[in-house]
């Protein structure tokens, strides 16, 4: 650190060292003004200089993130992009394809970050990466917590909520085929008690039917007690869909067990077929 700060002015060094000594990664413009005991104009000059030299990056209006000195601009990978994007909305969580990638449930690489919030927020772009804002109803805004993203704490949907979100809105998880693959990968280590409690909170019969069908299609090992609860949640008239409402000749067709019209070609979900053998949580498998 001593060597790294030699290229900084005394005022710039004061900002960097203060953050490092306090173990902090974020600072506001107001805090910089107070720390330096200077005018807003002078503080803005220091901020611009630190950004130009690669020490600070803007994380939102009036908020800046310290770029780890031992990593420099290399730190601005996906994890730090999440840290920057976390300032866009409050409350929020990263979900759908972004969360699936975080948990290693997908190998697809995407150039969009999916940020979920109950608030109306305009789409953003950070370091050339699009941040798509997904507005969820308050009753569906749950099932997330803090995760570490290269030293920064950000809010991420948990494994079970990530899977349910992707099945509910597959277009945000890479499509129906990818949502099925995400489910198959997650179901190997899945907390079904948590998942069914989430399904009850969401209250969507269609989503329960989709999960039930995918569980059978992928070979997921659902405890009998969970399966009984899921069936009781769907014991009502009406037809649900996965895929477009208009069927095609290649579609899998009607799944009688779940009253679900599967308007998806077998080839679209072939990778997920039979791939979800459940492993017990805590087994170390």
Q: So where are the chain's domains? A: 4-75, 78-272
Contact between 218 and 272 (Cβ < 8 Å): yes
Please say if the pLDDT value at position 208 is more than 50.
yes
Lowest mean pLDDT among 87-91, 144-148, 180-184, 246-250: 246-250
Taking residues 213-235, report their average pLDDT: 96
Pick the CATH number of 4-75 from 3.40.50.1370, 3.30.360.10, 1.10.10.10, 1.20.140.10: 1.10.10.10
User: What pLDDT, on a 0 to 100 scale, did the predictor assign at position 70?
Assistant: 54
User: Would you mind telling me the total number of residues written for the chain in this entry?
Assistant: 285
Helix runs in 53-106, H state only: 78-85, 96-102
Structure pTM? 0.76
Contact between 64 and 47 (Cβ < 8 Å): yes
């Amino acid at each position: 650190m001593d060597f790294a700060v030699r290229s900084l002015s005394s005022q710039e060094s004061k900002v960097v060292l203060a953050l490092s000594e306090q173990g902090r990664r974020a600072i506001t413009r107001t805090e910089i003004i107070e720390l330096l005991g200077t005018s807003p104009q002078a503080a803005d000059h220091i901020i611009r200089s630190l950004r130009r030299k690669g020490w600070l990056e803007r994380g939102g209006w009036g908020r800046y993130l310290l770029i780890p000195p031992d990593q420099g601009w290399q730190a601005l990978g996906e994890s730090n992009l999440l840290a920057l994007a976390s300032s866009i909305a409050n409350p929020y969580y990263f979900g759908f394809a972004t969360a699936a990638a975080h948990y290693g449930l997908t190998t697809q690489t995407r150039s969009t970050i999916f940020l979920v919030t109950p608030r109306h927020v305009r789409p953003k772009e950070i370091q050339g990466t699009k941040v798509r804002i997904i507005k969820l109803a308050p009753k569906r805004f749950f099932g997330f917590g803090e995760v570490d993203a290269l030293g920064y704490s950000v809010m991420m949907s948990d494994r079970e909520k990530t899977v349910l979100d992707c099945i509910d809105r597959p277009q945000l998880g890479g499509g129906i085929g990818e949502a099925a693959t995400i489910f198959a990968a997650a179901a190997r280590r899945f907390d079904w008690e948590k998942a069914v409690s989430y399904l009850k909170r969401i209250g969507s019969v269609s989503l329960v039917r989709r999960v039930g069908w995918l569980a059978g299609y992928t070979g997921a090992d659902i405890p009998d007690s969970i399966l009984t609860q899921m069936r009781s949640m769907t014991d009502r008239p009406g037809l649900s869909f996965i895929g477009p409402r208009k069927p095609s000749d290649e579609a899998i067709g009607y799944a009688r067990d779940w009253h679900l019209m599967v308007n998806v070609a077998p080839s679209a979900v072939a990778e997920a077929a039979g791939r979800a053998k459940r492993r017990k949580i805590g087994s170390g498998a």
